[in-house]
C-alpha cells in the first residue's frame, strides 16, 4: 500500500501559505532534488517527482481548493492531478518557476501573444472653480494614433490578409530547452504578433494605425476637484493590427480663484470688515459661485480672525447629494485715516473706557503689572 504524503508537508509549507510562498518553496526543493544535479539518484528523483506533483496541484486555485477539502481523493478515479512522471510534465512545473525569475530577461513569460493593446494617453485640462461648481460640457482636440482607414487596422494591403506564423503557430513565442531549463523567447519571425503580413498596407506600413487628430466631447460633472480623473474608454492610442485601443484619461486642474479657497467641499473666503462693524455688528454680502449674493451676519464684538460658517453654500458633493459649507474668515480693518470729527468721537469714547470693553487687553496688562511687582 502506497503512503500518500500531504502536499503541504512535501513543500514544507503551512496550509495557509500564499502563492508566492509555495512557489519559493518549490523552487528551492526542485533545485535541491533535480536528478540532473544528483547523478541520477533514484531517491532524489522520486522526491523531485513528488514535490513537482504537489506544486502542480497547489499552484492551481481550483485544484488547491479541491485538495484542501477532499485531500488526495479529489484526484482519484480519473479526476486528474496524478503523479508527474520525470519528463515534460514535471519539467513544465519546474520551468514555471524560472519563467517568473528570468521571464523579463528572456522576453517575458509566455503562453500567448504579447499585449498589442494601444497605449493609454493623458490629457491635462484646466477649468475654473465656477466650472467645478456648475459642471461643464467641453470639447478637446488630441493628436493620437487611430485605426488605419485603408486597411481597417489589419496592417495588410487592402484585398490581402495576414497569415498565421509557421514558426510559432500563432503563439507569438517559441520555446527551446537548455539543459533542464525551458527558455521562452519572442518569435523572431513575427516578433510576437503571431501573424505574418506578406504584403503590408502602404499607408500604415503594416502597423494598422496612423496619426490622426480627434475632437472629443467632455462632460465635467459638478463637484470635481484638483486631480479628478475622467476616463474615456477606447479613446487612447489604437492597438497594433486591430488590437483594442487604449483609454484616454483627462486630468482636471482647477484654476486659483480670486475670492475663494477650496478644501474638499468646503469653501473659504477672507472678508475685511470695519472696526465699527466688528464692534457694533452688522451685515456684509459676498457673491456665491452660483451668482447669488450671500448675506453674512456679523455679531457685535466680533474679534479679528473669527470664522462664520454658512451652511450649504460650498461645493457640490461629487456624484452625490448636497453641498458643503462656506466659511468666511473675518479680518477687522483699522482705519488709516480719520477726519477731525471721527477723531473727536473716538477720543470721547476712549475717555469713557473702563477696561471691561476689551477684557483680554486689560487682563494682559494686569498680568504684566503683577509680574513686575
To the question of whether residue 204 is assigned a binding role by annotation, the answer is yes
Interatomic CA distance for residues 311 and 43, integer angstroms: 79
Q: Which residues contact 210 (CB under 8 A, 6 or more apart)?
A: 145, 146, 148, 149, 203, 204
Interatomic CA distance for residues 330 and 270, integer angstroms: 6
Interatomic CA distance for residues 373 and 43, integer angstroms: 97
To the question of whether residue 190 is assigned a binding role by annotation, the answer is yes
Contacts of 293-302 spanning 24+ positions with Cβ under 8 A: 294/326, 296/271, 296/328, 298/273, 298/330, 302/273, 302/277, 302/278, 302/330, 302/332
Interatomic CA distance for residues 262 and 237, integer angstroms: 35
To the question of whether residue 41 is assigned a binding role by annotation, the answer is no
Cell numbers describing residue 148 = 488605419
The partner residues of 287 in beta bridges, in order of sequence, read 293
Tell me what pLDDT residue 239 has: 85
To the question of whether residue 151 is assigned a binding role by annotation, the answer is yes
To the question of whether residue 13 is assigned a binding role by annotation, the answer is no
* pTM more than 0.85: no
Tell me what pLDDT residue 62 has: 80
Specify burial of residue 192 (Cβ count, 10 A radius: 0-12, 13-18, 19+): buried
Tell me what pLDDT residue 259 has: 93
To the question of whether residue 187 is assigned a binding role by annotation, the answer is yes
Cα Rg for the chain, rounded, in angstroms?
A: 37
Q: Which residues of the chain have pLDDT under 70?
A: 1-3, 38-40, 74-115, 179-180, 360-370, 373
* Contact of 67 with 57, CB cutoff 8 Å: yes
Interatomic CA distance for residues 25 and 16, integer angstroms: 13
Interatomic CA distance for residues 74 and 53, integer angstroms: 14
Q: Which residues contact 249 (CB under 8 A, 6 or more apart)?
A: 120, 121, 122, 123, 229, 230, 231, 232
To the question of whether residue 358 is assigned a binding role by annotation, the answer is no
Q: Which domains does the chain have, with CATH numbers?
A: 7-102 (1.10.287.110), 121-254 (2.10.230.10), 260-336 (2.60.260.20)
Amino acid at each position: 500500500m502506497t503512503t500518500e504524503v500531504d502536499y503541504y508537508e512535501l513543500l514544507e509549507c503551512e496550509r495557509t501559505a500564499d502563492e508566492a510562498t509555495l512557489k519559493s518553496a518549490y523552487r528551492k526543493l526542485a533545485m535541491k532534488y533535480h536528478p540532473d544535479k544528483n547523478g541520477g539518484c533514484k531517491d532524489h528523483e522520486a522526491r523531485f517527482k513528488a514535490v513537482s506533483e504537489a506544486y502542480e496541484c497547489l499552484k492551481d486555485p481550483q485544484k488547491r481548493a479541491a485538495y484542501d477539502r477532499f485531500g488526495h481523493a479529489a484526484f482519484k478515479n480519473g479526476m486528474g492531478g496524478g503523479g508527474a512522471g520525470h519528463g515534460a510534465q514535471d519539467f513544465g512545473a519546474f520551468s514555471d518557476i524560472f519563467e517568473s525569475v528570468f521571464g523579463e530577461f528572456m522576453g517575458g513569460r509566455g503562453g500567448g501573444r504579447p499585449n498589442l493593446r494601444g497605449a493609454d494617453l493623458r490629457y491635462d485640462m484646466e477649468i475654473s472653480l465656477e466650472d467645478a461648481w456648475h459642471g461643464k460640457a467641453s470639447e478637446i482636440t488630441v493628436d493620437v494614433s487611430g485605426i488605419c482607414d485603408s486597411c481597417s487596422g489589419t496592417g495588410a494591403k487592402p484585398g490581402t490578409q495576414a497569415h498565421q506564423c509557421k514558426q510559432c503557430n500563432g503563439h507569438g513565442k517559441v520555446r527551446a530547452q537548455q539543459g533542464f531549463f525551458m527558455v521562452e523567447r519572442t518569435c523572431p519571425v513575427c516578433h510576437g504578433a503571431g501573424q505574418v503580413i506578406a504584403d503590408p498596407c502602404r499607408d500604415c506600413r503594416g502597423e494598422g494605425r496612423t496619426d490622426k487628430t480627434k475632437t472629443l466631447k467632455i462632460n465635467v460633472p459638478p463637484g470635481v476637484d484638483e486631480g479628478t480623473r475622467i476616463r474615456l474608454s477606447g479613446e487612447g492610442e489604437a492597438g497594433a493590427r486591430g488590437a483594442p485601443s487604449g483609454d484616454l484619461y483627462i486630468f482636471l486642474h482647477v484654476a486659483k480663484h480670486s475670492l475663494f479657497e477650496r478644501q474638499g467641499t468646503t469653501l473659504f473666503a477672507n472678508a475685511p470688515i470695519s472696526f465699527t462693524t466688528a464692534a457694533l455688528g452688522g451685515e456684509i454680502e459676498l457673491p456665491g459661485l452660483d451668482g447669488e449674493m450671500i448675506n453674512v451676519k456679523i455679531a457685535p464684538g466680533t474679534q479679528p480672525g473669527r470664522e462664520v460658517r454658512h451652511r450649504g453654500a460650498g461645493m457640490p458633493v461629487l456624484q452625490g447629494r448636497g453641498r458643503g459649507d462656506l466659511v468666511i474668515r473675518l479680518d477687522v480693518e483699522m482705519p488709516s485715516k480719520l477726519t477731525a470729527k471721527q477723531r473727536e468721537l473716538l477720543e470721547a469714547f476712549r475717555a469713557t473706557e473702563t477696561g471691561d470693553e476689551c477684557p483680554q487687553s486689560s487682563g494682559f496688562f494686569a498680568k504684566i503689572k503683577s509680574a513686575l511687582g
